[in-house]
Amino acid sequence: MYFIVVKFKVKPESVEGFPSAVAEFTAATRAEPGNLWFEWSRSLDDPNEFVLVEAFTNDGAGPHVTSTHFAAGLEAMRPHLVETPRIISRQVDGDGWDAMGELQI
């Protein structure tokens, strides 16, 4: 699977509206057959930073980045961002979340 984490620095005046600005992109991506998850969070350290954790099947990543909603989603984000987002994108073994071995409940 492809495991991706992206950090988005958002303009202070855009922070409250950013989830709405990415809602259509989020819904369309979650509906893709190759999407495993697409989850937004807000940083506890920086209230102007949103973190996106996403994963795709090995065959799902390519269609995602070539979709029309991908390009539209990036353009919807652009006016709200302070800087180029930072990304980690890796192909990893597995097809989902595993239980944390160091902290069993």
Which residues of the chain fall below pLDDT 70? none
The predicted structure's pLDDT at residue 102: 97
The predicted structure's pLDDT at residue 68: 95
87: Cα separation from own chain's centroid: 9
The conformational region for residue 94 under phi > 0 = left, psi -120 to 50 = alpha, else beta, is left
Domain for residue 30, yes or no?
yes
- State the residue for tokens 């302070």: 82
The predicted structure's pLDDT at residue 47: 96
Closest CA to 39 of 47, 29, 20, 49: 29
Domain for residue 43, yes or no?
yes
89: Cα separation from own chain's centroid: 11
- State the residue for tokens 């102007």: 48
Domain for residue 86, yes or no?
yes
| This prediction's pTM | 0.94
Domain for residue 104, yes or no?
no
Q: How many structural domains comprise the chain?
A: 1
